[in-house]
Structures are given as C-alpha cells and as structure tokens.
Structure 1
Amino acid sequence: MAGTEGLVWRTARRFTRGVDALNAWVGQFAMWLLVLMLAVLVWGIASQAIDVRSVWVIEMAQFTLVSYYLLGGAWTMQRGVHVRMDVFYSHWRPRTRSVVDSFTSVFLIFFLVMLVVGGWESTAYALDSGQRSRSLWRPYMAPVKIIMTTGMALMLLQSLSELCKDIARALGHPFDTANT
C-alpha cells in the first residue's frame, strides 16, 4: 500500500498497538485489586473478631471491586473473553464476524461516549463540591469517580481499537496483534 491509504493503515495499526499495550498493562494491574479487596474483607472479619469497629470495610471493598471491573474491562474486551451471545456468531466466518462487530461497535462507542461524558461531569461535580458518600465513613467520592471515568475512557479507546481491527479484517488487511 502506498500513499494516503498506507498512512491510514499504519496510523490505525500504531493506534491499536498503543491502546492494546496500555490496556494490557492497566488490566494486569487491575487483577491485583482483587488481592486488595480480599485483604480489606479479611480485615473486616478480623476486626469484628477482636471487637474493633471498621465502618469503612464494606464501602472500601465496593470501591475496590468497581475499580477492578472498570479498569479491567478494556483488557477483557481486548482478549475477547467478555460475555457474548454466541448462538450464531461462533458459526460465522472471521470476515463475517468482523463486519457484524464493526456495525455493532458503533452503538457501543456511542454508549461509551455518553458514559465518559456523564462520568466527566460527575467527577467535575465531585471535585468542585467536595462530594462525600452518605455512609457513616463519608469518604470523598472524587477518587472513585476518577477511576470509574478512566475505566470507561479506556473501554472507549479499546472499542475504537477493536473497530479498527475489525474494519481491517473485513477489508482483508488484518493487523498483526500477536505482540500486543
């Protein structure tokens, strides 16, 4: 491929490799959040046994779980291990899958853009107002909202990366993604 068309494919390939590498790193980091959540829950159980009140345990475990699945969502999509309705999909040729995935990705991208915009506005509000949880512990909400919005933005980037790969496969120019 030469000229502008070659530049478009090289740019798309560079974009997908960069996004895939970023989300692989974030996803591998997110796996460790389960260990943190386990430690928090073990502390909650142990603190009850020694009669120490820990009002923060349940909410901290919830925040950690939210961080885990939102930061790990893009990596899950990249690896193709998310839940999919597989009644017809598994019987299609790879090129047909890519065409259908390209079409449905548009709706996913629209949805994720709305989530990122809403998350951005909610995060800005939490930062400006010093928003706190209504629980007894009353932690600031901005950190968890920043993590949530970041996770949704990473999922949006991964969706765009997957769309680039699907279009390339559908047009007969699959990207080499073995090293990402």
Structure 2
Amino acid sequence: MERLRNIAAVIDQLSERTGRALSWLMPAMVLVIALEVVARYLFAAPTIWAYDSALMLYAWLGLLGGAFAMKRGAHIRVDLFRDRLSPRGQAILELIGAPLVAFFLCLVVWQVGNAALDAWQTGSRRPTEWAPPLVLFLAAAPLGAAFLLLQLVSQVIKALDVLMHGGASR
C-alpha cells in the first residue's frame, strides 16, 4: 500500500502544480477581455482576436484545472448526502462512482482526442474572422480528461487506503 500512497502523492503533486501554473491564465484572460472592452466601447474598434483568445484561455483553464479542483474536493457533488457519511462511507461512495467517472473521461479522451488529432492533421480553423487553429481549442478537453483520470486514480487509492485502515487515511 505504501507504493500506492506514493503514486497518489505524485499524482496529487502533479495536479497541484498544474493548477497553480494554470492560475496564471486567469489574469491573462481578464486582460484580454479588458482590452476588448476598451477597444470596443472607448475606441469603437473591436478586435478580431479577443473573443477567440479569451475562449481558448477559458477552455484551457477550465478543462485542465479540473484535476486541481478534484484534488482539492472542489467539484460539484451532493455534499448534503455525502457529508453525513463516515469516512468509510465516503470512501465507498467514491469507489462506487469512480468507474462511471472513468468511463466518461475515457470517452472524452478518445472522442475529443480523435477530433483534436483530425483538426491538427487537416489544419482546421475556427470559423471566425481571426480563424485560429481549431486544435488549440479541442486539445484542452482530452488533455484535461487525462489529467482528471490520473487524479481519479489518486482518489481511488486514497479511498482504498481509508477502507483498509479502518477509516483513518494515513
């Protein structure tokens, strides 16, 4: 079990570092949106790149930040029910839900990953005036889902640890 705990710790550290690195995308996104607002409403000269740029930053921030949120327990769940359970009950609930979450994430990696690969190979672009490469948008989803899958492995390891050690995670 010690080896599994070490794996979980490495995954947790990866999620934490990725989340902290991604947090720098938020001020960049705010700056892009602020520049667009100033250009549009102060100078009546909207840009052709700001919308796509903000959307791309938001996609990367939101989709790759999912593992960071999962690690910190910030994902949406029915806490009213879950919080009433003992640590062992919470671990069992985690283990029951994990296969469904893993199945969904595998579908995202597979399907959107294929779409991103296709966009990269064909050079597809967003259907906007600026027309940035579509792969820059699509690649965030399978990569984010892969990071979430890794964090799910960590969560499962921790849930198993709780069950094996009488409700007290080490």
TM-score, length of structure 2 as denominator length: 0.92
Unaligned runs of 5+ in 2: none
Measured against aligned partners, the alpha-carbon deviations of 1:91-114 in whole angstroms (never above 9, x if no partner) come to 110011101111111110111111
Of 69, 76, 81 in structure 1, the residue corresponding to residue 74 of structure 2 is 81
1:130 is matched with which residue?
Answer: 123
Q: Is contact 1:13–1:175 with CA below 8 Å preserved after alignment?
A: no
Of 29, 34, 37 in structure 1, the residue corresponding to residue 29 of structure 2 is 37
2:39 is matched with which residue?
Answer: 47
Q: 1:143 Cα shift? A: 2.1
Measured against aligned partners, the alpha-carbon deviations of 1:47-92 in whole angstroms (never above 9, x if no partner) come to 2222434111112111111111111110110011221112321111
Q: Is contact 2:108–2:141 with CA below 8 Å preserved after alignment?
A: no
1:10 is matched with which residue?
Answer: 2
d(CA) in 1 for partners of 2:81, 2:140 = 35
Q: Which moved more, 1:100-109 or 1:167-176?
A: 167-176
d(CA) in 2 for partners of 1:39, 1:47 = 12
Q: Is contact 1:120–1:149 with CA below 8 Å preserved after alignment?
A: yes
1:107 is matched with which residue?
Answer: 100
Of 59, 72, 78 in structure 2, the residue corresponding to residue 66 of structure 1 is 59
Q: 1:119 Cα shift? A: 2.2
Q: Could you tell me the percent identity over the aligned residues?
A: 24
1:121 is matched with which residue?
Answer: 114
Ranges of 4+ aligned residues in structure 1 off by more than 6 Å: none
Q: State the secondary structure of the residue aligned to 2:132.
A: coil
Unaligned runs of 5+ in 1: 1-8
d(CA) in 2 for partners of 1:169, 1:81 = 20
d(CA) in 2 for partners of 1:55, 1:83 = 35
Query: Could you say what the CA RMSD is over the residues aligned between the two structures, in angstroms?
Result: 1.5
